[in-house]
């Protein structure tokens, strides 16, 4: 824990230094809090309290909208650049060596190897699912290249009862919880085992049994949903927490701000995990904000903040473990994992049009999976033969899953109208009848392989 404290402000939030500076300013103004009542001085002329001599100007403002803020006679505008940045916590150096003094954040061999195996499986799945989409086998895909450690290691520090509200690059969290290649392939093809029955875009996964809420494409909508779920869990005495994953681009949405404010004021057990990968599709982070990233926004809402090296699996695991402990106590936490999106935003994107090739190559060389592999090999927990065997087996399983899912039967077209209402309303019943009638009369317009009930 000492290393986390050295990383700074993890328990206090992002602005401990700013508060200390505020206290110093109050001292310079000569307005130390001396009384015990906190009632406004009778001659203050309004808006003040804080003791001192009777009739003296109060030291601290007691307006309802403030939390014990010192008065000052120095008029100045705050300078964001002077406040200092939230430090970025790490455990491993770039070569996978534990930084001296950080040994307490190492984990047991069994869990470390399990995390690594999941990261490798995620890489292999992303590679072949991406290629399958480029071949036209299904319509869309998004990879997690460069963000494997941020997703898998954070998921490994959670409890299985925690409710996950993801964005669309967290398939590693699902794999960690037991989601299979077969289930992922069925969802992308919209067939067979697909829980959404073909009504969602590919990679918009969901699993009730794994407490992983179905993904929705609009950015940020999962954030207030997670807060609502967390508040419900709090009221019902549920020991779990809600976890909301999102990218830094989604933090520009209004839902982000509403979610953090509700979480803080209602003391909701919700953990916000931001993958700051530097790019919101083609918009670089330098054009998204001017402040201290995403973690720097935490204290403004009364939310504790942690910034962590998202390419360091041990650091992410340790930071998430601490964050979950705090969150379970009704102290919401904003965890910002600093990563880089090595791949394109999606199969609909060509990032070479807005990113320099040298930039992409330099970050690809900082592969978080390779970094963790070097750590495991240094501990004697992994070897080249195991690596080759795992990748070969995973590749075979992924290819088989894709081939089998492609042959699975598609849901009937009538399923489009099911699973929303217990009893189908009359207007939807009419639409269903009209749609099926049209499909029967124009079979050439029905998507290939989709049956239409007679």
Q: Could you say which of 73, 109, 131, 325 is catalytic?
A: 131
Q: List pLDDT tens digits, range 331-370.
A: 999 999 999 999 999 999 999 999 999 999 999 999 999 9
Rounded Cα–Cα distance for residues 376 and 367 (Å): 15
Q: Is 144 a catalytic residue?
A: no
Q: Please, are residues 50 and 59 in contact by the beta-carbon 8 Å criterion? A: yes
Question: What homologous superfamily is domain 92-407 in, according to CATH?
Answer: Thiamin diphosphate (ThDP)-binding fold, Pyr/PP domains (3.40.50.970)
Q: Could you say which of 102, 128, 345, 401 is catalytic?
A: 345
Q: Please, are residues 162 and 241 in contact by the beta-carbon 8 Å criterion? A: yes
State residue 333 phi and psi, 5-degree precision: -130, 140
Where is pLDDT greater, at 244 or 37?
Answer: 244
Q: Is 131 a catalytic residue?
A: yes
Q: Is 217 a catalytic residue?
A: yes
Alpha-carbon Rg for the chain in angstroms: 26
Position 13 scores a pLDDT of 41
- Name the least confident of 52-61, 96-105, 427-436: 52-61
Q: Could you say which of 78, 139, 217, 348 is catalytic?
A: 217
Q: List pLDDT tens digits, range 63-99.
A: 888 778 888 889 999 887 777 899 999 999 999 999 9
- Name the least confident of 122-126, 191-195, 239-243, 407-411: 191-195
* Cα 160-163-164 angle, rounded to 5 deg: 100
Domain boundary assignment for the chain: 92-407
Instruction: Read off the pTM.
Output: 0.86
Rounded Cα–Cα distance for residues 70 and 20 (Å): 11
Q: Name the one residue in this structure whose structure tokens are 């998202």.
A: 310
Q: Could you say which of 102, 144, 154, 346 is catalytic?
A: 346
Of the candidates 450, 421, 416, the one whose C-alpha atom is nearest the C-alpha of residue 432 is 416
Q: Please, are residues 413 and 439 in contact by the beta-carbon 8 Å criterion? A: yes
Encoded tokens for 405 = 């899912």
Q: List pLDDT tens digits, range 134-183.
A: 999 999 999 999 999 999 999 999 999 999 999 999 999 999 999 999 99
Position 50 scores a pLDDT of 52
């Amino acid at each position: 824990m000492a290393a986390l404290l050295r990383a700074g402000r993890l328990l206090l939030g992002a602005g401990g230094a700013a508060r200390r500076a505020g206290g110093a300013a109050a001292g310079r103004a000569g307005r130390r809090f001396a009384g015990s009542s906190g009632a406004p001085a009778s001659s203050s002329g309004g808006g003040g309290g804080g003791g001192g001599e009777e009739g003296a100007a109060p030291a601290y403002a007691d307006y309802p909208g403030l939390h014990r803020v010192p008065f000052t006679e120095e008029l100045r505008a705050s300078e964001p650049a002077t406040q200092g940045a939230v430090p970025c916590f790490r455990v491993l150096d770039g070569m996978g060596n534990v930084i001296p003094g950080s040994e307490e954040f190492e984990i047991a061999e069994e869990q470390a190897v399990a995390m690594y195996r999941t990261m490798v499986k995620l890489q292999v799945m992303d590679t072949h699912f991406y290629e399958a989409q480029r071949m036209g086998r299904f319509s869309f895909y998004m990879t997690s290249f460069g963000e494997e450690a941020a997703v898998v290691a954070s998921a490994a520090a959670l409890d299985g009862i925690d409710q996950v509200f993801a964005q669309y690059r967290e398939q590693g969290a699902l794999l960690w919880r037991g989601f299979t290649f077969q289930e992922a392939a069925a969802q992308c093809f919209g067939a067979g085992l697909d829980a959404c029955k073909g009504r969602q875009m590919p990679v918009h996964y969901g699993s009730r049994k794994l407490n992983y809420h179905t993904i929705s494409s609009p950015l940020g909508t999962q954030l207030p949903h997670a807060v609502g779920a967390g508040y419900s869990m709090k009221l019902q005495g549920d020991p779990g927490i809600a976890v909301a994953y999102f990218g830094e681009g989604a933090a520009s949405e209004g839902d982000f701000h509403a979610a953090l404010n509700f979480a803080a004021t209602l003391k909701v057990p919700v953990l916000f995990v931001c993958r700051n990968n530097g790019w919101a599709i083609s918009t670089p982070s330098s054009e998204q904000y001017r402040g201290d990233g995403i973690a720097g926004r935490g204290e403004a809402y009364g939310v504790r903040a942690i910034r962590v090296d998202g390419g360091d699996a041990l650091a992410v695991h340790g930071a998430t473990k601490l964050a979950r402990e705090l969150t379970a106590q009704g102290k919401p936490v904003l965890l910002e994992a600093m990563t880089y999106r090595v791949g394109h935003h999606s199969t609909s994107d060509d990032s070479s049009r807005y990113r320099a090739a040298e930039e992409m190559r330099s970050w690809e060389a900082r592969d978080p999976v390779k970094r963790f592999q070097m750590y495991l090999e240094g501990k004697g927990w992994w070897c080249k033969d195991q690596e080759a065997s795992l990748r070969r087996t995973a590749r075979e399983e992924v290819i088989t899953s894709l081939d089998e899912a492609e042959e699975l039967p598609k849901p009937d077209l009538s399923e489009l109208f099911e699973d929303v209402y217990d009893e189908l309303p009359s207007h939807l019943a009419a639409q269903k009848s009209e749609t099926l009638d049209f499909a029967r009369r124009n079979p050439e317009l029905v998507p290939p392989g989709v049956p239409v009930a007679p």
